[in-house]
Amino acid sequence: MYTKEQQRAVLTEYVVEKASKQIGMFTAILVIVATIIISLIIYTMTLEKMKEISIMKLMGIPNSMIVRMIVEETLLLGILAFLFGNLFSHLIYSRFPKRVVLEIPDAWMLFAVVVVASIAASFVGVKKVISADPAAAIGG
């Protein structure tokens, strides 16, 4: 048997735990979706640059340099998205139906996730670069 106090404690814990799990899942899904979107954007941006990439390869620029360009571009995209997202949430969070607390450590955590996710997202672009044909640069 629980005392009243204990019951309350267990119940609040349960509710809080559930809510935080809920939010955690939401965050995870949003990060995954964002990663996919960034991958797709980088993929199309890389496709648009295939000609230049072929030229760079033809000139003798090593893959490592080209790949670095793409990863940098993706990181930039990810960091910009993170900054805008944060700014936006700070602007509107007071209007949320339920009070939310924005904590700095959480933001850093998310930032780390964004960096890792962006690098993962650039993989598709990078794969495309490695397979680019330098001879295709001049054909047509």
**Contact positions vs other proteins (CB under 8 A):** 49, 51-52, 55-62, 65, 134-135, 137-138
CB of 65 vs other proteins, minimal distance in Å? 6
Of 51 and 90, nearer to other proteins (C-beta) is 51
CB of 125 vs other proteins, minimal distance in Å? 14
Burial bucket for residue 53 (CB in 10 Å: 0-12, 13-18, 19+): buried
Nearest-angstrom CA–CA distance, 18 and 135: 57
CA geometry: angle 81, 85, 88, nearest 5 deg: 140
Of 60 and 105, nearer to other proteins (C-beta) is 60
